Structure 1
Amino acid sequence: MKLLKRVLLLLVLVLGVVIYLNYPKLNIISGYAAKNVASGVYVAHRSAASMNQYDNSAPLVELAVTEVDESNESASSTVYGLMKRTAVYRDGLGAVLVNDDYNPDKMTLRPKRIQPLDTIPYPFGQAAPIDTILPEVDMGQINKALALAFSEPEIQKTRTLLILYKGHLIAEKYINGFDKDTPILGWSMTKSVMATLYGILERQGKLEMDWPAPIAEWKDDERKDITLNHLLRMQSGLAWEEDYTGISDVTRMLFLDSDMTLAQRNKKAIAKPTEIWNYSSGTSNLLSGILRQQFRSHQEYLDFPYSSLLDKIGMYSMVLEADIAGNYVGSSYSWATTRDWARFGQLYLDKGMWNGEQLFNPEWVDYITTPTLHSNGTYGAHFWLNAEWIYPDVPKDLFSCNGFEGQYVFVIPSKDLVVVRTGLAEDPYFNINEVLSTIVNAVP
């Protein structure tokens, strides 16, 4: 009996230590689950059951129990009944995790959308794509690529794949539950959208990349030499921990902060600009905050991404989600259909030209695809590169928007190709090189 009591006491002590060590993580886990479900249900119009079964099935996140309150357009999550977190939906601004700073009465502004109908075929308009047979395209290879991308659904977890060649839709495929009208969370592909807004402002003559970052707190210390270029290239030298496996700078920002533009802004320098390359979602949200400073009013800031870019190229499905302070979460939170993500890639393939209008300078593409020092040729300016042949069987000029769990918009100028792939797994579970090389071999 004494031995049993000792064993039980030991088990209680071990359980107590486990709870003590992991309790702070529960805040992050339940926050992730609630935010994900709220956005999936009210932005992507998917069922809560589907979001819980698939999108929240990641390790630790699967411990959360999430319920939707349709009357309040919200979702709440707990882990073992602890750490309840709630995310609410706001029309036009997406879902946000609430805390003591949240006041719905202060969140009355919404972005104004301009979405005219047209008769131009996709991808340059809203009409159905032209059913064109391009004799130079080897459709056998294209079909092989589609089969490869979906061949192991439990491992690859591919959801959608779409291919544009010379501005023509030549193939697309969707798993059950997804179609051409289903918005997909881009995660860090949002960073490339944020960078593009800077390219547009540059063309408008409103800023230049070598300008010092307009942050008053930096003017009298070692951070005063940080430029917009350094921020876009993730080489500011500021401290940042991008670790999603525990409590880190990025998880605190995304799941605890009310104003996500401050997380990187308040970090100290650990190196001089250009001395190191350090991938940082905080930097992208800092850039969102700097973008907001360029406008006289909050309304102008909210409207700008849509009026100057997204609605301009027909990405009507896209929703940029905002934090409690009303800043776009430029690091992570944008939703758009696979077809609309492909429009974004086509804009870059055409060097900023859209239906006769130049949205950003053609040289902007050269800028964002110039490898950043110390990134080993993998990173430009908020875009990923193949400059050192990470994908050895794919042209070196490939550049891409990359997002968590394998969201990709690939642009291959030498082949006139745009390829969009979305899913819940990335390399090595989804073999990018194999699928892309098969597509590349299908065209001259």
Structure 2
Amino acid sequence: MSDVYWPSPVADWKRLPPSEAGFDSDGLAAAIKYAEDPANAGSPPDLGTHLVQQNTKNHDDGVLLGPTQFRGPATGVILRNGYLIAEWGDPHRVDMTFSISKSFLSTCAGLAFDRGLIEDLDEPVGAKVGDGGYDSDHNGQITWDHSLRQISEWDGTLFDKHHSAGNPDDERTDPVTPGTRYEYNDVRVNRFALSLLRVWKRPLPDLLREEIMDPIGASDSWHWHGYANSWVEVEGQRVQSVSGGGHWGGGMWISAYDQARFGLFSLRKGVWEGKQLLSPEWIRLARTKTELRPTYGFMNWFLNTGRELVPSAPESCFYHGGAGTNRIMGIPELDLVVVSRWIDGEAYSEFVNRLLFAVD
């Protein structure tokens, strides 16, 4: 792999003019201009106020549990073969990344799988986690695979939020048999995060930094938040259980440059500078479609199955996605990573269409 370029720190990251990386320069500039157009902006600047307004509903009191901030400008980074091809906005800025936090969470699960801490993804979580969260007959059926694919149907209250508070349709549905219904639900994701903390017995941000982020050359500016009330006792120490998103504040806050590194790490199947940091088997499983939601793999790997999510991109395309629209897209056959933030979700497909039209 000596002929493969691995990025140095940002200050020394090699840049290529678009024309040398297989892009039409004018076409690429037009795509970026579209992404920066205020008419295509996603999420208002005051994210805290926005979240309270969005979450105050029948089954959620709207109370924020973690920190929030004002967002930055529309921002993006494009890599081709690992080289920096284009940047816009403020790619150094550390911003909330919302549900891309789930991709970092599933990466921590992958590390546990690779180390043998989780031997069988079809094993009930309660076989290893004895904190009461899986004691009921219903919750006792939930496996690691169910949790990773958001089909767990975990029933309960965690950090003062009942699982119905995480229902995207504001419905209080009775849980069904785990593994038989897909529901994107941050309470259940946070239960999964706490379960991983119980397995690792150490803060997940420390694990991620040591095993992934430092080895891939990420900056030290990112930070992964939990909630004011998500502190638990682990091995006699108080540890904060992190959140798998920014739904009630918190989650992963990270720069677009560091997002791009994580995207390249994902694109290259868990390898960095010739070292396998995350097993190819885990990446394969993460990119295996969920039967109940074929465009979803492990959290938060979105798959372009049937070219449904990004019609202009190849079916092999995937992205780590979060509100905002925070997306880290990878297209393997083009060796292309595209980070974009704060573009409206309805405008994203057209942005990608214009971007790919500029590829020679």
> Normalising TM by the smaller chain, what interval?
0.7 to 0.9
* 1:402–1:301 CA distance, 2 compared to 1 (3 A): closer
Matched, 1:123 2:123: no
Structure 1 Cα separation of the partners of residues 335 and 176 of structure 2: 40
Structure 1 Cα separation of the partners of residues 317 and 40 of structure 2: 25
Q: Tell me the equivalent position of 1:379.
A: 296
State the secondary structure of the residue aligned to 1:192.
helix
Retained in 1: the 8 A contact 2:41–2:74? Answer: no
The correspondence of residues 34-433 of structure 1 with structure 2, limited to 5 A, is 123-133=7-17, 134=20, 136-151=22-37, 153-157=38-42, 159-174=74-89, 179-208=90-119, 209-214=121-126, 215-216=129-130, 217=132, 218-219=134-135, 221-238=137-154, 249-250=165-166, 270-296=175-201, 298=202, 301=204, 303-316=206-219, 317-324=221-228, 325=231, 326-332=240-246, 333-375=251-293, 377-382=294-299, 383-389=301-307, 390-423=309-342, 425-428=343-346, 431-433=347-349
Structure 1 Cα separation of the partners of residues 311 and 154 of structure 2: 32
Retained in 2: the 8 A contact 1:239–1:268? Answer: no
User: Rg: which structure is higher?
Assistant: 1
Retained in 2: the 8 A contact 1:124–1:313? Answer: no
Retained in 2: the 8 A contact 1:315–1:340? Answer: yes
* 1:293–1:387 CA distance, 2 compared to 1 (3 A): same
Structure 2 Cα separation of the partners of residues 369 and 137 of structure 1: 28
Q: Tell me the equivalent position of 1:94.
A: none
State the secondary structure of the residue aligned to 1:163.
strand
Structure 2 Cα separation of the partners of residues 219 and 338 of structure 1: 41
How many Å apart are 1:442 and its aligned residue? 3.1
How many Å apart are 1:338 and its aligned residue? 0.7
Q: TM-score of the superposition, structure 2-length normalised? A: 0.74
Task: Name which structure has the greater RCO, CA cutoff 8 Å, separation 6+.
Answer: 2
Retained in 2: the 8 A contact 1:189–1:403? Answer: yes
* 1:282–1:129 CA distance, 2 compared to 1 (3 A): same
Structure 1 Cα separation of the partners of residues 40 and 105 of structure 2: 31
Structure 2 Cα separation of the partners of residues 166 and 302 of structure 1: 28
In structure 2, runs of 5+ residues without a counterpart are 43-72, 158-162, 232-239
Work out the percentage of aligned pairs sharing the same amino acid. Answer: 27
Q: Deviations over 1:67-107 (max 9, x none)?
A: xxxxxxxxxxxxxxxxxxxxxxxxxxxxxxxxxxxxxxxxx
Q: TM-score of the superposition, structure 1-length normalised? A: 0.61
How many Å apart are 1:168 and its aligned residue? 0.8
Retained in 2: the 8 A contact 1:240–1:278? Answer: no
State the secondary structure of the residue aligned to 2:292.
coil
Retained in 1: the 8 A contact 2:269–2:283? Answer: yes
Structure 1 Cα separation of the partners of residues 280 and 108 of structure 2: 14
The one-letter code of the counterpart of 2:143 is T
State the secondary structure of the residue aligned to 2:85.
strand
